[in-house]
């Protein structure tokens, strides 16, 4: 939680490659041990940052997620991180395609970078869509008191944390395969642009996951401990969103998201699970399902 307490520390953690997002609940000692860093030296650097001392020549993040409402957090994550990824990932993929085509024969490791990024991209695209369709409406509803905490999928928060950990592992593998994004190793100007883009992408994704794992999900977890209330269930919100997704010509994606939610509900919420199961069958049988080109 060191980064959540004081956002300016994020720049320092990025430079030291300390995991403050996916493993944000780990102790500083553990994080330093994993990186082979001297914990006392790191503590001194953190104290210097807290005092506003030298050593940070980059602008520190002005956004303070812990001061935002849940609704503001969700909106910020979508507008800044999700929309940013949707714009940046195709650009990086295009750069990768060019670099692999030009230099791949002499540098076969570049193809591994391309494959790893493609896998990460596919994982992220589905993950952020589910967040916007399921997680964020649930978070907003809990904050507003319009959703009953008792109706929330029991493993919703734990599942998203687990998915974040998987993203973190893949992101670390991508960095290693790409030589730590060392610009001095760039093979050409296009390769340099690629490395710069991957580094920016990594930094933004670290901050993105940090804001979700260590701020949003922690806060929503506390809301789930509230007494039951009379209100809509998250499944009501989800079904409405999935129908809209199918109507937009994306029935196959809607069916996959419904199946994932069903897997989390079927034991603890049989009635809600039956509703999702019925929707899945309807989506699968729909002609729109076969027309989905995703």
Q: Are residues 195 and 133 in the same domain?
A: yes
Same domain for 156 and 238? Answer: no
Rounded Cα distance between 36 and 38, Å, is 7
Q: Which range, 34-43, 58-67, 201-210, 265-274, is most confident?
A: 201-210
Residues 119 and 241 in one domain: no
**pLDDT digit string, tens, across residues 68-92:** 899 999 999 999 899 999 999 999 9
19 in Cβ contact with 31 (< 8 Å): yes
pLDDT at 131: 93
Expressed as residue numbers, the domain containing 286 is: 234-291
Q: Which residue has the higher pLDDT, 3 or 30?
A: 30
Q: Are 118 and 215 within one domain?
A: yes
Residue 261 has pLDDT above 80, yes or no: no
CB 71 within 8 A of CB 143: yes
User: What is the distance between the alpha carbons of residues 248 and 288, in angstroms, rounded to a whole number?
Assistant: 9
Q: Is there a domain that residue 229 lies in?
A: no
Q: What is the pLDDT of residue 294?
A: 46
Residue 282: which of 261, 255, 249, 248 has the closest Cα?
A: 255
Please check whether residue 211 lies inside any domain of the structure.
yes
The verdict on residue 56 lying in a domain is no
Is residue 231 predicted with pLDDT exceeding 60? no
Total residues belonging to the chain: 294
The predicted pLDDT at position 59 comes to: 43
In a domain, residue 55? The reply is no
Residue 199 belongs to some domain of the structure = yes
Do 268 and 161 lie in a common domain?
no
Q: Is residue 83, in this structure, part of any structural domain at all?
A: yes
Q: Residue 59 domain-assigned?
A: no
Q: Are residues 203 and 140 in the same domain?
A: yes
At residue 211's C-alpha, the angle toward residues 122 and 143, to 5°, is 105
| Domain count along the chain | 3
Average pLDDT over residues 182-191: 92
pLDDT of residue 271: 54
Alpha carbon 45 to its chain centroid, in Å, reads 28
Q: Which two tokens stand for residue 230?
A: 């009379």
| Domain shared by 217 and 243, yes or no | no
Rounded percentage of the chain residues whose pLDDT exceeds 90: 37
More confident residue, 120 or 203: 120
Do 209 and 119 belong together in one domain? Answer: yes
Tokens 């008191």, residue? 145
Give DSSP secondary structure letters for 28-93: HHHHHHHHT--HHHHHHHHHHHHTT-SS--SPPP---GGGS-HHHHHHHIIIIIIHHHHHHHHHHH
More confident residue, 229 or 131: 131
Do 285 and 258 lie in a common domain?
A: yes
Three-state SS annotation for 84-109: HHHHHHHHHHHHHHHHHHHHCCCCCH
Query: Is residue 285 domain-resident?
Result: yes
248 shares a domain with 209: no
| pLDDT more than 70, % of the chain | 61
Residues 121 and 203 in one domain: yes
The verdict on 29 and 163 lying in the same domain is: no
């Amino acid at each position: 939680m060191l980064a959540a307490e004081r956002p300016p520390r994020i720049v320092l953690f990025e430079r030291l490659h300390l995991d403050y997002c996916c493993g944000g609940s780990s102790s500083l000692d553990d994080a330093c041990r994993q990186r082979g860093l001297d914990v006392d030296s790191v503590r001194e650097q953190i104290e210097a940052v807290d005092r506003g001392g030298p050593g940070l020549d980059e602008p520190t993040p002005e956004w303070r997620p812990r001061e935002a409402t849940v609704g503001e957090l969700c909106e910020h994550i979508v507008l800044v991180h999700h929309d940013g990824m949707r714009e940046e990932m195709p650009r990086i993929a295009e750069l990768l395609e060019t670099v692999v085509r030009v230099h791949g024969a002499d540098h076969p490791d570049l193809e591994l970078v391309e494959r790893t990024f493609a896998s990460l991209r596919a994982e992220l695209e589905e993950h952020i869509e589910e967040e916007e369709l399921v997680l964020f409406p649930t978070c907003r509803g809990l904050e507003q008191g319009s959703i009953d905490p008792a109706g929330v999928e029991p493993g919703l928060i734990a599942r998203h944390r687990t998915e974040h950990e998987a993203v973190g592992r893949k992101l670390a593998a991508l960095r290693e395969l790409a030589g730590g994004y060392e610009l001095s190793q760039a093979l050409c100007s296009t390769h340099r642009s690629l490395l710069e883009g991957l580094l920016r992408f990594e930094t933004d994704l670290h901050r993105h996951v940090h804001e979700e794992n260590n701020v949003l999900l922690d806060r929503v977890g506390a809301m789930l401990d509230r007494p039951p209330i009379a209100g809509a269930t998250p499944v009501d919100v989800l079904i409405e969103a999935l129908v809209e997704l199918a109507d937009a010509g994306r029935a196959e994606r809607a069916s996959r998201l419904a199946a994932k939610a069903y897997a989390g509900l079927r034991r603890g919420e049989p009635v809600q699970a039956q509703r999702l199961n019925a929707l899945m069958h309807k989506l699968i049988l729909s002609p729109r399902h076969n027309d989905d080109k995703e």
